[in-house]
Amino acid sequence: MRDNMKPCQHTLSDDIVYKDVVIIGNGPSGMVTSFMLAGNVPYLKEVPEDLPIDEMLKARLTNLPPGQNLYETDLLELAEGLEGRSQNPIPLLMDNLLRPCADLGLQADSLIEWRYDVEKEIDHVVLGRGPPGGAWPTFPSHVRTLSPGAWLWLPPLPAAAAERLSARAVAAYCRRYVVACGLQRYFRCNVVVLSVTPARSTAAPCGAACPRNGAYWVSGYDKTEGRGFRYLCRRVVVACGAGDRPNALPAHVSAHAAHSLDAVERAAHLLASGALPDPYKSPLVVGSGVSAADAVRLLRAAGLPVRHLHREPAASLAKLAPGPYPDYCQIYKMMCDGPSGNHPNYTPYPHHIILEVTPLPEQEQPLKIAEEVEDNTIRLKRVKLLDLVTNKTIELTVTLIAVLIGSKPDLFFLQTNFDLNDIDIKKCTCSEKKIDENEKQCFLKNHWHYLKSVVGQSIQSCKSRYLSYTEINGNMDTKCALPDCNKRDTCTCDTRAENGLAVRECKCEIIPYSNSRREKNCQCQPTNPYSNGFGYGIDPKKPVDGRSNPVAIDKSTHEILNAPKGMYALGPLTADNFIRFIPGGALAIVSHIHREMKTE
């Protein structure tokens, strides 16, 4: 592939860079894909006769020539019949080769040997919002992994320990990985990708590295340098993970809540610092899964009286064994015991939901909070809860509401690849608000507004009349067309899609426990359906979710089925939520790219 590096007579402007592959996301998915694109080739070792792996897999492996290059192997045929914790066959195959007998509790040597081949090097760039590691550097250091350390390493670096690791240890491993593998020149960190759009070539390319090969424009901005960037590339690998958008409760709750463990940790330090009287140390955690359990454990460790609002304990907690997971099993038992459990610093509220949140006036806030805390989520607030079993309400006064109910990927940068008008989205019938022709450029204007803010210019000075009620993620104007819509019997807010860009959603809710006259509350909330990934999931009419509706891919190549040719996905986006299965997705992608480049 070294002909990629030959000079080309067709040039681009100074602000455009051509790459064969652009990887969006610098977490484990982007890291291991970069390692393989950098010219590192997997070769099969000799399989020991006494190795207790799948018999059919062993038979297929022994029929291959010694030292077989896996890039030149029919991977789907090798993976036939394999079963495990991934629904994608090639990740299962790669896991069996990298960690033979891992599910049996054995630690056998890898069956893969990595060799560097300069001819296999493919020019690429890895784009990430923060330092290498994706979301791992953002987790509180005390959080421990669900997977043991032996399942967390990426090829070719072996695991450092067999036991569960802290998030800090995984983040440090990711930093070391990029340096140890010599991948620094491929990584561009602290950048935000804003759009991926098809590029149309007007003439035939003169070679493999010719910019006329470009099929996609990848645009964004650099948070460090405060300026935009633009790449022209042949292929795009979407490796951005599935946790960019925390799931949230309705706006009247989410506006006063924290949605990350990092925010919970900061609040815990403040509330436990001794600067506040004991009556004000009252966090409320919402959720029943692993993240909510982490928050409960963190707050209790800080000596804070935790209130825990949840439904049924999540199955993810129920499946964890007491031996390796005593921390989560303790929280699971506390949830199952309910109010009769009498656990210190823990008050559960099973089968409750939040009806309303009312912040207390500033004069009623503790002096420490009122003067020194800028985070509005750390404020005294009155919360009304509804017990779904008894239909009774109670009121609590809390300082922090931590809503940890899962997350979804943010795929807004792919929004121009399909027409929203072709997707059937249920909408409420509302009156029309005419959209100005100039407003069709709202997406670019919004992000230009964000770029200006990054370089230190005043937000207010760069707002225009098109940005009055928008956010920076590509949403259109969602201000209600009729200001008195709350007084009307039917919703009058506009919900429509125009040219695949303008989308507004209206939610009408019946207010519980009101007077005998039924009232409706019309809330015009900004939504960007492209962030949900409509069109890319296994069910294209539903939002992409790493567990229930992953991105639909070709199992043999990991190409996205509902996207133009040359766009790939791997990792949590394709339901591979464990690091151990990510290298298989990278193997499928890189081997397919090599096969295609041979025929070009």
* Residues 560-600 pLDDT 10s: 998 889 999 999 999 999 999 999 999 999 999 999 988 87
3-state secondary structure of 309: strand
- The answer to whether 585 and 570 are in contact (CB under 8 A) is yes
**Percent of the chain whose pLDDT exceeds 70:** 72
Q: What pLDDT does 485 receive? A: 42
Q: Are 364 and 380 in contact (CB under 8 A)?
A: yes
Q: How many helices (H) and strands (E) does the chain have?
A: 13, 22
pLDDT digits (tens, 9 = 90+) for 387-402: 999 999 999 999 899 9
Angle between helices 167-180 and 28-37 (to 10 degrees): 20
Q: Whole-angstrom Cα distance, residue 32 to residue 419? A: 33
Task: Find all residues with CB under 8 Å of 564, minimum gap 6, and list them.
Answer: 198, 215, 417
Q: Which helix (H) or strand (E) holds 334?
A: helix 326-337
180 φ, ψ (degrees, to nearest 5): -65, -35
The pair phi, psi for residue 187, each rounded to 5°, is: -95, 135
Residue 23, beta-bridge partner list: 126, 237
**Which letter does DSSP use for residue 298 in this model?**
H
Mean pLDDT to the nearest integer, 329-346: 91
Mean pLDDT for 337-345 is 89
DSSP labels for 50-116? T--S-HHHHHHHHTSPTT-BGGGS-HHHHTTT--SS-SSHHHHHHHHHHSTTGGGT--PPPSEEEEE
Sequence-separated (6 or more) residues with CB below 8 Å from residue 218? 22, 24, 127, 193, 195, 196, 230, 231, 232, 233, 236
Q: Which pLDDT does position 21 carry in this prediction?
A: 96
Percent of the chain with pLDDT strictly greater than 90: 45
Confidence at 150, pLDDT banded by 50, 70, 90: confident
Tokens 């025929």 sit at which residue?
A: 599
pLDDT band per the 50, 70, 90 thresholds, residue 212: low
Reported as a pLDDT band with limits 50, 70 and 90, residue 278 is low
DSSP 8-class letter at 501: T
Distances from the Cα of 527 to the Cαs of 502, 506, 584, in angstroms?
10, 9, 34
- For residue 156, cis peptide bond before it (omega within 30 degrees of 0): yes
- pLDDT bin (cut points 50, 70, 90) of residue 8 is low
C-beta of residue 11 within 8 angstroms of C-beta of residue 211: yes
Q: How far apart are CA 296 and CA 301, in angstroms?
A: 8
Phi and psi of 396, rounded to 5°? -125, 155
Q: State the CB neighbour count (10 A cutoff) for residue 62.
A: 11
pLDDT at 242: 86
Q: 294-325: per-residue pLDDT in tens?
A: 999 999 999 999 999 998 888 888 889 898 89
pLDDT in tens, 115-146: 999 999 999 999 999 999 999 998 988 889 99
Distance CA 586, CA 568 (A): 10
Q: What is the pLDDT confidence band of residue 163, given thresholds at 50, 70 and 90?
A: confident
Q: What are phi and psi of 529, to 5 degrees?
A: -65, -20
Grade residue 513 by pLDDT with cuts at 50, 70 and 90: very low
Contact 496, 426 (CB under 8 A): no
Q: What DSSP assignment string belongs to 413-453?
A: GGGGGS-GGGS----------PPPGGGGGHHHHHHHHHHHH
Q: What is the pLDDT of residue 476?
A: 32
Position 509 pLDDT exceeds 70: no
Domains and CATH numbers, the chain: 2-242+535-599 (3.50.50.60), 248-405 (3.50.50.60), 426-525 (no CATH)
Q: Would you place residue 284 in the very low, low, confident or very high pLDDT band (cuts 50, 70, 90)? A: very high
Token pair of 532 as six digits: 């949900």
452-456-460-463 Cα dihedral, nearest 10 degrees:
0
Residue-by-residue DSSP string for 208-231: TT-GGG--EEEEEEETTTTEEEEE
Which sign does the torsion angle of CA 396, 402, 406, 409 carry? positive
What tens digit of pLDDT does each residue of 39-82 get? Answer: 999 999 988 888 888 889 999 998 998 889 999 999 999 999 89
482-491 residue pLDDT tens: 344 443 444 4
Name the residue with tokens 């509005």.
Answer: 376
